[in-house]
Every structure is written in C-alpha cells, then in structure tokens.
C-alpha cells in the first residue's frame, strides 16, 4: 500500500465506509492495488491476483443469503 | 521508490528518413542532457521518427498492419529491410528495443536486450511495463497539438491522462476479474448440473453483451453529438453569411434574428414561471382551491388532528400509573396498546398540521382570484408563443424569397445545413431511445438501457439462485460498488488537486494574460473557453501535463514534436521557461521557424545544459551548406551536434 497515492487510499476508505463494510475490506483492496502499482501483481495473470481477490471478497459482509464459502 | 526512464538515443536505418544515429548522452557518460533539441526540416522524417518512438516504446509496432508498415518505406528505395534501435536507461539498467522491418513479408520483428539477456519480442522491465502502453506513451511522446487537444471537448485525453497516470483504470480491471471470478464458480457448478444452467448462463452473457454494446454506442453518440453540433453551428454561420450577401435581406434577417432571440428569452422565462406555479393545485383549478379550503374548515370543525398521538398512549402503556392515578396492570396495558393504533402517529399529525397551515397560507384569498391570476399568465404564454411563431414565419418567408433568387452557393449551403440538422436530429432521436424510460413491456432485445440493466440484474439473480452462489454474487456486487465509488471519489479528488496546482503553474507562465482552468471533465475546461487564444490553451495544456508528471513517483522523458509551433512570441518565452520543469529529460523536434523567442529562453531556463542537434537529408540545397568537422554523414543523411550550426541552419523544407 506504500506505493498507493494518498487520494486513492482515502477514496477507497470512504467508499468502504459509505457501503458499511468493515475497514478490513479497504485494507485488502489497498493491498491489491499496492501490489499492482509495485509491479508484483499482473492483472493478466490469474495466479498472481486470484488470492488477493478471494481475500478481498472473503471479508465483505453480506446481510442475507446462504453461506457460500469461496472454494 | 522513484523509477527513472531516460532515452539514451536511437538509430534509424533503411526507413523513411535519412539514416542517422542520435546519442542523447553527455560525452563519456550515461547521463543525458536535460534538454535535447533536434532540428529537422519538414519532410526529413520527423513524423516517421515519432511514430517509431511511440510504436517501439509501447510495443504497438508489433501489431502494425501492412499499410502502416508500407508507410515506413522510403520512396524509390530498393532496400527490403529497415531497422530502428532504441536505447533506454531504466534506473541503472540499459534496455534496448530493436525493431526490424521486413518490407517483402510486411512484418515487424521485435527484440529486447536487457540485464536478463536477449529475447525475441517486446519485454519491457516489469517495474516500468505499466508506463509502456500505447495510451501512456502518447502522454510523453506527443506532437505539439496534444497540449491544445487536452482542452478540446471532443477529445477525452485529460480524463484519460489522469486515469492512466494514477492507474485508476485498474479499478475497472479488478471489477472485471471479480465478476469473472463469480462466473467461474457458476461454471464449475454448471458443468455438473442440468442444461437449464447453461441456458441461464448464455442468457446473462447475451444480455451483458447487448448492454456493453448499447452503452458504448451511447458514449460514441454523445461524443458525436458535440462534434455534429459544432459542425451545425459552423454550417449555420456559413448559411447566414451566404444569405447576407443580399444586403437588404441580410439586414432584415438580422433584425428578425435579434427580435427572435428576445422573444425566445421572454418565452423561456414565462415557461419557467408557469412550471413553478403548476406545483400549486389551487392555481390550476378554482375547484381545487375551494375544496382545499373546505377540507381545512372541516378538519377545524372536527378539531383534527387531535393533540394526542399514538406515541402518547404507547408511552402510557409502559408507565406504572395511568394519568388518572390508577395503578396499571397487564390487561390495561394491553388494551391501551391495542387502542393506540386508532390514533395517528406524531409524524402523521405533523403532516396534517402542515397541510392545514399551507391551505390557510395559500388558499385564504378568494380561490377565483388565485385561479384567474394564473389563467392570465397562461394567456400571456399563448401571446408570447404566437409572437415567436410569427417571427419564425416571417423569417421563413424571407429565406424562401432569398432562395428564390436562384443563388447556387446559397442552395449548396442550405443543403449542407439541412444535412447537418438531419445528422444532429438523428443522433438526438437515437439517444432518446437509448436513454428512454422503461414502461415494463421491454424484452431481452430492448434497446432501452435502463430496462436492459434491470434485466441483467434479474438474470444474475436467477443464475445465482440456480447455482447456489448468491452469497458470492452479493459479495461481488458489493465489491463492484465499492470499486466504482472509490474510482469516482479518487478521480474527483485528484482532479481538484490537479486543477488547483495547474492554476498555480498557469499563473507563472501566463503572468500578463492569465486564463484559469475551471475544472477537468473529459477534457480540460477553461474558465473562459471562448476567449482563450491558441497559445493560452496550449500553455494550459503544458501546465496540466507538467502538474501531472510532477505528482508521480517516477520520472519519464518528454518527447515533443513542434513544441512552440502554435505559440506567439510572448507565450513561447513563457512556455520555454516552463519546459525544463516538465521532466528530467525533454527532447524536442523543431523546425527553423520555431527557434525565435523559444530556444534562447529555453536554454537560459535549463542553465544552458542543452544539446543542439541538426538532422537533414543531403539534397542539392543542403549540399551547399558548410559542415563543421564533427558532422556525421551517412549514405543519405547528415547529423551535426553544434549550437552554432543549429542556430545558423535556416532550411525549413526539404526539397
């Protein structure tokens, strides 16, 4: 997240707050963007981004619906 | 960590420019000059060099088609291959891209040499790969018009520039991947389930495809509409000018136009006033006013709403004693709670009281007076409409009279105007369909975007339910909303910061004649767009680019073709002072006529740390030029590194 621009970071945090999601969601999105900015994750390579994506989705809270864990 | 990219130089051979090699380094080191000026007469191959630089830096040249490759070939040259070699320094590592053109096979071969060795293909170092894309390279290798185009509403480069530089487009990429992740889960279940799942999946894919197509069509139409409306204005002006050639008719038409403008303004003001009044029912009908007053009087007679509300009884049911002093028990409490439902809630009492107050305020005068006053306003609207229509008829009669004179040029202008009117009307009609309000009768083939969006939502829900992936679908949709919101917030806040910083720079470069950047939409919007000169617009573009590139955690070279071509002398001087601040390396292709009022202030601003190169082809004209000793000659070209030679060289066009 170090490489992430302050404005982008704060935009993510305020979006997460607005949609009443836990702060952990902002951290996960920030981590993914930071890794992309560092050149460590290439969004054209699934094996590089998939675990970040699942970590981000996993902390998103859904009010209703059946429990479906990510496999 | 700052990543620094420097251009060390390039070599061109067998292509549509003289063969030459440029070395942008200071002698005996890998350090480049902060400013390198390359003077090339028109026709020497500047465009070819710029095209090759862009195509090689972005890797796009690997995908050039046969025509683009053929355009690189030198006329009347029997050579079958050409070569462009570009040397870069990325931090402390040298990287070379080698591009070989085969004119017989119409192919281009890439080769990359870096610390990891030589590889066939385009392999930029990973830490700078995100900058070496076609969209990004256009921001630092550009022709002088780019800066001015940033303020053109038909171009969307200003927004694109911010999105690209701050990687806001990554939000879109993540959204796509998150959605794909859900669909992959759906597919895993779908493979083992019944055929109906495949049908649902296909339906969703078709609906999403249609939605993408329609949204893309709408964006294109909105851009086209701006352009076509500008074209319509131009043709309208040309038509009016052609009409005015008959001075008598022109004079009369001018008078009508002026009166028509006045009539339109009055009409607009009256419509706005009536729309506000129409919100008051008692003004629309005398009966409304009377009935509303009756309602209020009846409520007063019945003393409604009562001052006791539902909440009073609900609180009473929780009390130990009743207001009458008797002790409460469960049966009484239950009874009070049941009967509390017969009373209005606080909020409802409040609304009723507000209605009564408003009726008293607005309908207390005689209802017929209110209504008649509004009816008079409608009569005025009718009169204004007739007056406007009379003027339109009068103008039409004059235009027909003028056309009857048999003026071929006027007829041509009229035909062009009609064509432009038709084009605008067609776009507006199509946009009306795409932006239409759904009426509930739409099916999957609808072209109403809002209706299609709803059907996509329904199809996604249907698919999620059928595959038991609702939770993941909901998480995906929440993630998409967060990413959309974050992208929008980030773009807005970055735009505000960049607007403010750009304005500070503008104040520096346009001291005598400043213009302000009002805001950044798809393009730059100047506070006085109509009154800004070409030079001012260009200077704003430079200030904007300079602000962008000074924000970032990396340093890129700027390569500009004709940086001062469109600037007048005073703005040239001011822009020249700004340029050394744009980036750590500025490489400009210029022609002889751009040097005045530009090169000297630029050299001063760069502390004379400037490299002067002149490249030209050997022709009968240039053959007479006396060359300095360090001139390097190839089979068909000459390159000279010398400030004096640069300043004295006065060939504009190759001939």
CB-based contacts of B192, cutoff 8 Å, min separation 6: none
Other C-beta atoms closer than 10 Å to the C-beta of B217 total 15
Q: Is A11 in contact with B167 (Cβ distance < 8 A)? A: no
* Interface check A31 vs B, CB under 8 A: no
* The pLDDT of residue B2: 65
β-bridge mates for residue B526, sequence order = B517
Q: What is the mean pLDDT of chain B?
A: 86
pLDDT of residue B429: 96
Place of tokens 């409040």: B350
Q: How confident is the model at residue A70 (pLDDT cuts 50, 70, 90)?
A: very low
Q: B165 pLDDT exceeds 80?
A: no
Surface-to-core class of residue B10, CB atoms within 10 Å of its CB (0-12 exposed, 13-18 middle, 19+ buried) = buried
Stronger pLDDT, B137 or B451, i.e. the higher one: B451
Indicate whether B158 pLDDT > 90: no
Characterise B41 by phi-psi region: left (phi > 0), alpha (psi -120 to 50), beta (else).
beta
Whether B468 and A39 lie within 8 Å, measured CB to CB: no
Burial class (CB in 10 A: 0-12, 13-18, 19+), B421: middle
What number is the average pLDDT over the span B434-442? 92
Best residue in A7, A13, A42, A71 to probe B by mutation, most B CBs within 10 Å?
A7
Min Cα separation B175/chain A (Å):
10
Chain A nearest-CA residue for B1: A3
Nearest to B474 among A11, A54, A62 (CB): A62
Task: Specify the pLDDT at position B367.
Answer: 62
Does the pLDDT at position A64 exceed 50? no
| H helix or E strand, kind and range, residue B91 | none
Q: Give the DSSP per-residue string, B134-171.
A: HHHHHHHEEETHHHHHTT-TT--HHHHHHHHHTTTHHH
DSSP assigned state of B304: -
Q: Percent of chain B at pLDDT above 70?
A: 93
Q: How does pLDDT run across B266-301, given as a tens digit for each residue?
A: 999 999 999 998 888 888 888 888 899 899 889 888
Q: What is the predicted pLDDT for the residue at B193?
A: 56
Q: Give the model confidence (pLDDT) of B14-49 as tens digits.
A: 998 889 999 999 988 889 999 999 999 888 888 889
Calculate ∠ Cα B427-B430-B431, nearest 5°: 85
The arithmetic mean of pLDDT across residues B473-480, rounded, is 93
Q: What is the pLDDT of residue B148?
A: 62
Arithmetic mean of pLDDT, B157-161: 74
pLDDT for position B619 = 82
pLDDT of residue A2: 40
Eight-state DSSP code of residue B613: E
pLDDT higher than 80, residue B241:
yes
B479 to chain A, any CB pair closer than 8 A? The answer is yes
pLDDT reported for residue B156: 57
Which of B564, B636, B543 is closest to B39 using CA atoms?
A: B564
Dihedrals φ, ψ of B585, to 5°?
A: -140, 125
Least confident of B158-162, B448-452, B633-637, B641-645: B158-162
Nearest residue of A to residue B553, measured between CA atoms: A3
User: 10 Å Cβ neighbour count for B74?
Assistant: 18
B584 in reach of chain A (CB within 8 A): no
State the pLDDT confidence band at B365, using cuts at 50, 70 and 90: low
């Amino acid at each position: 997240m170090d490489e992430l621009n302050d404005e982008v970071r704060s935009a993510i945090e305020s979006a997460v707050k607005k949609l009443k999601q836990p702060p952990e969601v902002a951290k996960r999105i920030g981590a993914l963007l930071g890794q992309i900015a560092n050149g460590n994750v290439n969004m054209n390579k699934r094996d590089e981004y998939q675990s970040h994506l699942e970590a981000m989705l996993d902390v998103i809270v859904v009010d209703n619906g059946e429990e479906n864990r990510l496999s | 960590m700052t990543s620094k990219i420097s251009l060390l130089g390039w070599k061109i051979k067998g292509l549509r420019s003289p063969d030459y090699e440029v070395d942008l380094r200071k002698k005996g080191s890998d350090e480049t000059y902060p400013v390198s000026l390359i003077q090339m007469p028109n026709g020497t191959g500047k465009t070819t060099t710029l095209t090759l630089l862009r195509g090689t830096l972005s890797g796009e040249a690997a995908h050039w088609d046969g025509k683009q490759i053929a355009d690189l070939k030198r006329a009347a040259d029997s050579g079958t291959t050409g070569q462009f070699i570009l040397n870069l320094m990325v931090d402390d590592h040298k990287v070379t891209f080698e591009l070989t053109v085969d004119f017989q096979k119409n192919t281009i071969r890439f080769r990359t040499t870096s610390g990891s060795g030589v590889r066939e293909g385009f392999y930029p170092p990973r830490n700078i790969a995100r900058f070496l894309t076609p969209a990004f390279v256009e921001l630092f290798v550009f022709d002088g018009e780019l800066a001015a185009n940033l303020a053109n509403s038909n171009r969307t480069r200003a927004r694109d520039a911010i999105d690209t530089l701050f990687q806001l487009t990554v939000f879109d990429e993540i959204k796509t991947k998150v959605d794909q992740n859900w669909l992959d889960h759906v597919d895993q279940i779908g493979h083992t389930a019944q055929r109906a799942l495949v049908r649902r999946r296909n339906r969703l894919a078709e609906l999403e495809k249609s939605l993408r197509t329609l949204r893309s069509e709408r964006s294109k139409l909105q851009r086209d509409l701006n352009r076509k409306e500008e074209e319509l204005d131009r043709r309208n002006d040309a038509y009016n000018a052609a009409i005015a050639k008959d001075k008598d008719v022109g004079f009369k038409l001018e008078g009508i136009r002026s009166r028509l403008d006045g009539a339109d303004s009055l009409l607009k003001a009256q419509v706005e006033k009536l729309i506000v009044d129409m919100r008051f029912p008692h003004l629309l009908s005398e009966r409304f006013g009377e009935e509303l007053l009756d309602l209020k009087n009846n409520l007063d007679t019945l003393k409604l709403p009562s001052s006791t509300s539902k909440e009073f009884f609900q609180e009473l049911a929780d009390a130990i004693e009743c207001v009458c002093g008797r002790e409460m028990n469960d049966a009484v409490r239950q009874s009070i709670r049941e009967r509390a439902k017969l009373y209005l809630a606080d909020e409802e009492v409040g609304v009723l009281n507000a209605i009564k107050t408003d009726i008293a305020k607005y309908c207390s005068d005689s209802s017929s007076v209110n209504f008649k006053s509004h009816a008079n306003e409608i009569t005025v609207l009718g009169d204004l409409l007739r007056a406007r229509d009379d003027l339109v008829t009068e103008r039409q009669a004059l235009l027909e009279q003028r056309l009857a004179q048999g003026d071929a040029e006027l007829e041509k202008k009229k035909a062009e105007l009609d064509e432009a009117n038709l084009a605008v009307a067609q776009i507006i009609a199509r946009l009306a369909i795409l932006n239409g309000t759904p009426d509930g009768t739409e099916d999957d083939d609808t072209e109403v975007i809002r209706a299609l969006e709803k059907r996509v939502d329904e199809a996604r829900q249907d698919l999620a339910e059928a595959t038991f992936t609702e939770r993941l679908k909901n998480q995906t949709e929440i993630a998409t909303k967060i990413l959309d919101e974050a992208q929008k917030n980030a773009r807005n806040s970055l735009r505000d910061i960049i607007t403010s910083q750009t304005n500070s720079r503008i104040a520096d470069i346009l001291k005598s004649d400043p213009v302000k950047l009002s805001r950044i939409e798809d393009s730059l919007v100047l506070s006085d767009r109509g009154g800004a000169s070409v030079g001012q617009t260009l200077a704003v573009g430079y200030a904007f680019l300079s602000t962008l590139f000074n924000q970032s955690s990396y340093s890129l070279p700027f390569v500009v073709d004709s940086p001062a071509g469109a600037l007048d002398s005073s703005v040239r001087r001011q822009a020249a002072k700004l340029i050394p601040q744009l980036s750590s390396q500025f490489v400009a292709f210029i022609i002889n006529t751009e040097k005045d009022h530009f090169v000297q202030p630029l050299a001063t601003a760069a502390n004379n740390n400037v490299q002067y190169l002149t490249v030209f082809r050997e022709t009968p004209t240039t053959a007479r030029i006396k060359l300095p000793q360090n001139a390097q000659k190839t089979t068909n070209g000459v390159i000279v590194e010398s400030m004096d030679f640069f300043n004295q060289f006065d060939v504009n066009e190759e001939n």
